[in-house]
Amino acid sequence: MTLSAQRITLSLTLLALFSACSGTKPVGDVPVSREETRKEDFGKLFGAEFLVFGKPQNMKYGEVPGGGPMRVNIHLWKATLDTLSFMPLASADAVGGVIVTDWYSAATSSSERLKLTVYIQDRQLRADAIKVTVFKEVNKSGNWVAATSDTSTARQIEDIILSKARDLKIMQKAQS
C-alpha cells in the first residue's frame, strides 16, 4: 500500500471514529428547561454549567436523576465517599453502588500503593451491605508488582464506613 493510500485510509478511519463520538441527540430528547438540563447533567464534572455538584432542588433525598430511588443506601454511599476522599477516584456509580479508586501511595510509604473497590449491595444500613476489596502493589526495582493485601485492612475500612454511615443517619433523623 502506498503512503498516500495509507493516509487516506487513516483519515477515513479517524473521520468515522470522530463522527461516531459526536453524541448528538434526536430533537425530541433535548431538555427544554434549565432544570431538566441540570437533572440530566447531575453529578457530571463537565455538565452544561461546567461544574455541576449537588442535586436539583426538586429532587428528593435519596433519588438519582431520572426520578427513581437510589438502589443503594444513601448513608453508606456518602460515608464511603467521605472515607475515601483522600484517594483519587477512578469511577463512582451511584445507581450500581460501585466506587473504584485510582492507585494511591501514602507519603510515608512510596514503595507500595493501594487501590480500592467498594461495593454497596443493599438499600439497608447493615454490615453485610458493604464489601471492600483492597489491591496492593509494591515497587520492586522500578516496577509495580502485585502483592497480597492484609484482609484486616478491608475490614477496617468497612468498619469506618459503617460508623460514618450510622452517624449520618442519626444526624439526618435529628434534623427531621
For 74-175, the fitting CATH number among 1.10.3110, 3.40.50, 3.90.1690, 3.30.530 is: 3.30.530
Give the phi and the psi of residue 126 in degrees, each rounded to 5.
Answer: -135, 160
Between helix 151-175 and helix 74-83 the angle, nearest 10°, is: 120
Closest CA to 119 of 62, 164, 161: 161
pLDDT the model gives residue 120: 95
pTM for this predicted structure: 0.61
Number of alpha carbons in the 13 Å side-chain half-sphere of residue 24: 6
Where does CATH 3.30.530 sit in the chain?
A: 74-175
pLDDT the model gives residue 109: 85
| Lowest mean pLDDT across 8-12, 51-55, 117-121, 149-153 | 51-55
| Lowest mean pLDDT across 19-33, 74-88, 128-142 | 19-33
Please name every residue paired with 175 in a beta bridge, in sequence order, or none if there are none: none
CA-atom Rg of the chain in angstroms: 22
Judge contact between 158 and 130, C-beta under 8 A: yes
The grid coordinates listed for 5 are 493510500
The amino acid at residue 35 is E
- Over residues 56-64, the mean pLDDT reads 51
